Amino acid sequence: MSEAQKMDTPEQAAFRAHCKEWLASNHPGRPTVKLPLGALELSNPDALAWLQKWQKSAYDAGLIGCDYPKEVGGGGMENCQSIANAEMQRVQTPYLPNIIGMGMAAPTVLFHARDEVKAELLPKLLSGEEIWCQGFSEPGAGSDLANQQTFAERDGDNWVINGHKVWTSLAHFAEWMILLCRTSKDDKYNGLSYFVVPIEKALGNGVTVRPLIKLTGETGFNEVIFDNLVVDDRYRLDEVGAGWKVAMTTLAHERGAGPMTTPASGGMAVEEQEGAQTNSAMALIQLAKQQYRNGKTAADDPLIRDDIIKMMIRQEAFRQNQRRANVPSLTDHPMRIPLQFKLVATEMAQDLQQIAYEVEGAAATLYVNDDNAPVSGQWPLAYMNSFGITIAAGANEVQRNILGERVLGMPKSK
Amino acid sequence: MTEQPKNFGFGEDETMLKDSAQKFFADNCSPDKIHSQVAHDPSIHRPIESIWDKSLWQQVVELGWTAVCIPEAAGGIGMPLVAAVAIAEEAGKSAFPSPLISTYCATFTLMACDTDSANKALADIATGTATTLAITNEKGSWESSDTDVSVANGRLTGTAWFVQDAKKADRFVVSAKGENGVGLYLVEATAANIDIIADGIIDLTRDQAHIAFNAAECTELAAEGAGDKAIDAAIPSILTIVSADMVGAGEWLLQTTTEYAKTRVQFDRPLGFFQAVKHPLVNVMLDIDRTKSLVYNAACAIDSGEATTELNARMAKSQASDMAVFSSSRAIQFHGGIGFTWECFVHIFFKRQMHNHVLYGDAKYQRAKLADMVIGKAA
């Protein structure tokens, strides 16, 4: 029996047993369609459909949304989502497709929407039947998120929305969007309001979704243009002008630092799907043993060896930080470690992939469309894609401001 | 792999111990006190001396802190390694000048000997006999099989180098080569036929010496052929405890520099407003947190009897050494002109970190070892 299991409450222990039992006979098995590395990369509707079927079955079995109240489609339990996550990860089920919905929209709706809206939206969000996307970034509002220009103007019981959102992952599949926008030009922060908007229903009638092509040549995110989109006032979250406060709930959960645990499956080994794992120091070692420099393998080069071991140490430190973050007596500020996760994880991935790029030597020039590229060109592709995550969700420069200000208490850099 | 506690083994007792160590050092070992104590003579050619507060050490002994990890059967308290880690971290945070860390290092080595004589030496440590390792050769090798001391007919001859806190220690645990390999031997600091020659060192908070043995009497702790094995077995704990000291010193440097960045005004703004200062300080915090978690993990792995303790501990010391350099260099730099002076307290911790950085192998040394373990020996 693991230490985690020993500490289970009776409710948790019963729930864990239920998860184990259900997963033993309901693991969806190997995907019948080729899946991308993560949900945010989904572009094939068949892949989405396969994953939605998996999410729905896990939801119906009570493994998703277990900590949400029953009235909104949840399981009405306490501290059980992390158990479901651990059990799903243990048997390496596929990832869940409605990642923005569960990770950002659901807790925001739960804490800020009116009751009938929660009951209307959360069941199909948690089941994955309705996909969600996030409308925060704009051409002029990236790191300076509060510089929103998309405007919602009141019209009786409705709001009329005009503006332009960018880097909107999953918008091409999404029924709903969480939307931060401006309702007053008088005050930068207090002039913001927060809505949930049905974008799919409004396609061609106030909403246009266009794909943006990443520097890798892949699609994956979109720009969304609002042209007099009409939204019912009941879809406003919290007060008019309280948008910034609501957005903080979203961002806290995005950074893994909010009160609700995000349902997370995943763990199905990526190499089974793509033939290359691009996220571990062990994979780097594998690669280094196959690549050559100066007549020996890269794994024999002392500088490459040092780089690889440094990376291994960083990865282990990250795992141990996750462990320590759950022990209040060993963290002198409760947010000190959680607020590091996004920053550290994304820079670590980027540096790891950059080392791999070096390890490949001359062959690193070969891309995914070349038959001779080592491991199908996945390492240079991963390296290029890594800039998506060091920029997204608050560029890492902003993350450093947040840590410096909120944890170390230094004055605000603005 | 065994099941490890999620909290690294920091139960109620260990947490209470950490809190009381924090309070003890805050009450008795403030930076200004340490500074006036160990930094009273700034002359570069100052006489070599070992400065420490023996009465404070006596209090540490009375609190049982030398005995924490010693098995109850050998007269100790028998707590897990994380308990000593907690104390070492707090000692490092106050740059405590004492033979505490070096005595812990000797303790782990003695615990690995598993002989009556070693157990007796442990019982003495538990009651306050400061004991330190003399296991390094002139070239500064950290390999357990390397020693310039030889043993013959129960007497030691040769010189042991880089002996930590030698002037504070009551006893030395000496590695020496005999016909059948390396053994370990206990020598009293007051013994005849030994010459303790103090080194002039950078770190103001400890002392170091090389010790010449001229057919010195000794007591065998581990037989020829068993001594290097005992050292190897103790190395994970030694690396972990030194790294814990470094975590504490790093945290002091971070907190002190952050405080300065909040109050020192230039260009009409506190320094911390500027991202050129703010962001590197955040990086120091990230580095400390990485180290702290790796240190707790290494200690917990040892307490849990893992097979990977050397791997865990070398990862911790590698990270600790890199962090030591980074935390102390940023602290000096961001204190600006005042940070470059003797009167500013920062150099005390800077120098302690410089010393710790190399102790038992720096970051690159640890990583070369790890590479051999994880990747395999290079062709």
- Of the residues A120, A254, A358, A360, only one is catalytic, namely A254
Let me know whether A55 and A37 are in one domain.
Answer: yes
Alpha-carbon radius of gyration of chain B = 20
| Residue B364 with chain A: CB contacts under 8 Å | 306
Contact A404 B375 (CB under 8 A): no
Give the residue from A220, A107, A106 showing the smallest Cα distance to A170: A220
pLDDT of residue A116: 97
pLDDT of residue A275: 41
Contact A297 B379 (CB under 8 A): yes
Nearest by CB to A313, which of B292, B319, B378?
B319
> How many angstroms separate the CA of residue A8 from the nearest CA in chain B?
13
Q: Are strands B181-188 and B171-178 parallel, antiparallel or unpaired?
A: antiparallel
Nearest by CB to A316, which of B3, B315, B368?
B315
Distance CA A149, CA B219 (A): 81
A267: left (phi over 0), alpha (psi -120 to 50) or beta: left
- Report the half-sphere exposure of B68 (CA within 13 A, side-chain side): 24
> How many angstroms separate the CA of residue A61 from the nearest CA in chain B?
28
Contact B375 A308 (CB under 8 A): yes
Task: Please count the structural domains in chain A.
Answer: 3
| Residue A411 with chain B: CB contacts under 8 Å | 262, 269-270, 272-273
Compare all CA atoms of chain A with the CA of B272 and give the residue at the minimum distance. A410
- Convert the pLDDT of each residue in B214-267 to its tens digit: 999 999 999 999 999 999 999 999 999 999 999 999 999 999 999 999 999 999
Let me know whether A311 and A331 are in one domain.
Answer: yes
Contact A300 B378 (CB under 8 A): yes
- Residues ≥6 apart with Cβ < 8 Å to A255: A338, A339, A341, A342, A393, A394
Hey, which residues 190-219 in chain A have their CB within 8 Å of chain B?
Answer: none
Q: Are A143 and A86 in contact (CB under 8 A)?
A: no
Distance CA B218, CA B116 (A): 15
Q: Are A166 and A139 in contact (CB under 8 A)?
A: yes
Contact A306 B367 (CB under 8 A): yes
Let me know whether A125 and A158 are in one domain.
Answer: no
Residue A198 lies in a domain: yes
Distance CA B262, CA A68 (A): 41
Query: What is the assigned CATH class of domain B132-224?
Result: mainly beta
Let me know whether A45 and A141 are in one domain.
Answer: no
Distance CA A61, CA A19 (A): 8
pLDDT of residue A88: 94
Contact A412 B273 (CB under 8 A): yes
First to last CA, chain B: 30
Compare all CA atoms of chain B with the CA of A339 and give the residue at the minimum distance. B286
Contact A411 B5 (CB under 8 A): no
Please give the backbone phi and psi of residue B305, each rounded to the nearest 5 degrees, phi first: 70, 30
Give the residue from A313, A353, A355 showing the smallest Cα distance to B369: A313
Q: Are A313 and B319 in contact (CB under 8 A)?
A: yes
pLDDT of residue B65: 98
Contact A336 B379 (CB under 8 A): no
A21 is catalytic: no
Nearest by CB to B273, which of A312, A409, A411?
A411
Q: What are the beta bridge partners of residue A164?
A: A225
Helices B31-38 and B346-358, axial angle in degrees (round to 10): 80
Q: Which CATH number fits the domain B12-129, given the four candidates 2.60.120.10, 1.10.540.10, 3.20.20.70, 3.40.50.620?
A: 1.10.540.10
Tokens of A154: 């009141």
Assess A403–B contact: CB distance below 8 Å, yes or no. Answer: yes
Q: Are B260 and B337 in contact (CB under 8 A)?
A: no
User: Which 3 state secondary structure label does DSSP give B184?
Assistant: strand
Q: What is the dihedral of CA A279, A284, A285, A287, to 10 degrees?
A: 120
- Domain positions in chain B are 12-129, 132-224, 228-374
Let me know whether A138 and A216 are in one domain.
Answer: yes
Which element (helix H / strand E) includes B185?
strand B181-188
- Residues ≥6 apart with Cβ < 8 Å to A102: A64, A65, A96, A125, A126, A262, A263
pLDDT tier for residue A393 given thresholds of 50, 70 and 90: confident
Please give the backbone phi and psi of residue A298, each rounded to the nearest 5 degrees, phi first: -60, -25
Please give the backbone phi and psi of residue A207, each rounded to the nearest 5 degrees, phi first: -130, 130
The segments of chain B whose pLDDT lies below 50 read: 1
Nearest by CB to B378, which of A305, A317, A401?
A305
Looking at chain A, the whole-number percentage of residues with pLDDT higher than 90 is 84
Nearest by CB to B294, which of A317, A337, A412?
A317
Interface A–B counts its CB contacts (< 8 A) at 149
Let me know whether A232 and A293 are in one domain.
Answer: no
Contact B275 A401 (CB under 8 A): yes
- Residues ≥6 apart with Cβ < 8 Å to A208: A224, A225, A227
Give the residue from B190, B189, B178 showing the smallest Cα distance to B220: B178
Distance CA A241, CA A84 (A): 37
Give the distance from CA B76 to its chain's centroid.
Answer: 20
Q: How far is CA A301 from CA A355, B2, B50, in A?
A: 13, 34, 44
- Residues ≥6 apart with Cβ < 8 Å to B23: none
| Residue B3 with chain A: CB contacts under 8 Å | 1-3
Residue A272, pLDDT above cutoff 60: no
Determine the length of chain A: 414
- Look up tokens 């915090």; give the residue: B285
Q: Are A266 and A95 in contact (CB under 8 A)?
A: yes
| Residue B281 with chain A: CB contacts under 8 Å | 404, 408, 410
Let me know whether A123 and A155 are in one domain.
Answer: no
Residue A222 lies in a domain: yes
User: The whole model's pTM is what?
Assistant: 0.89
CATH number of the domain where residue A383 is located: 1.20.140.10
Contact B282 A404 (CB under 8 A): yes
The pLDDT mean for chain A works out to 92
Q: Are A2 and A83 in contact (CB under 8 A)?
A: no
Residue A102 lies in a domain: no
| Residue B273 with chain A: CB contacts under 8 Å | 410-413
Tokens of A176: 């709903």
| Residue A302 with chain B: CB contacts under 8 Å | 368, 378
Contact A312 B370 (CB under 8 A): yes
Residue A6, pLDDT above cutoff 90: no
Residue type, B187: V
> How many angstroms separate the CA of residue B321 from the nearest CA in chain A?
12
Residue A268 lies in a domain: no
Nearest by CB to B6, which of A3, A317, A329?
A3
Assess A333–B contact: CB distance below 8 Å, yes or no. Answer: no
- Residues ≥6 apart with Cβ < 8 Å to A11: A77, A78, A80
Residue A18 lies in a domain: yes
CATH number of the domain where residue A240 is located: 2.40.110.10
pLDDT of residue A220: 75
Q: Which site among B289, B323, B334, B373 would you substitute to test the A interface, given the most A Cβ atoms closer than 10 Å to its Cβ?
A: B289
CATH number of the domain where residue A58 is located: 1.10.540
Contact B273 A404 (CB under 8 A): no
- Look up tokens 């992390």; give the residue: A82
Tokens of A34: 């080729």
Let me know whether A13 and A63 are in one domain.
Answer: yes
Residue A279, pLDDT above cutoff 90: no
Looking at chain A, the whole-number percentage of residues with pLDDT higher than 70 is 96
The range of the structural domain enclosing residue A383 comes to 275-407
Nearest by CB to B371, which of A289, A309, A336?
A309
Q: What are the beta bridge partners of residue B186?
A: B173, B219
Let me know whether A123 and A139 are in one domain.
Answer: no
| Domain spanning B228-374, CATH architecture | Up-down Bundle (1.20)
Task: Name the DSSP letter for residue B144.
Answer: T
Give the distance from CA B93 to its chain's centroid.
Answer: 12
Mean pLDDT throughout A395-414? 94
Most confident of A87-91, A252-256, B184-188: B184-188
| Residue A2 with chain B: CB contacts under 8 Å | 3
Contact A306 B368 (CB under 8 A): yes
Residue A345, pLDDT above cutoff 70: yes
Q: How far is CA B52 from CA B39, B76, B169, B236, in A?
A: 11, 25, 12, 28
Mean pLDDT throughout A261-265? 91
Task: Name the DSSP letter for residue A404.
Answer: I
pLDDT of residue A38: 84
| Residue B370 with chain A: CB contacts under 8 Å | 309, 312-313
Give the distance from CA A36 to its chain's centroid.
Answer: 14
Give the residue from A310, A293, A279, A307 showing the smallest Cα distance to A375: A279
pLDDT tier for residue A274 given thresholds of 50, 70 and 90: very low
Distance CA B293, CA A316 (A): 9
Task: Name the DSSP letter for residue B194.
Answer: E
Q: Are B258 and A410 in contact (CB under 8 A)?
A: yes
pLDDT of residue A268: 53
Residue A114 lies in a domain: no
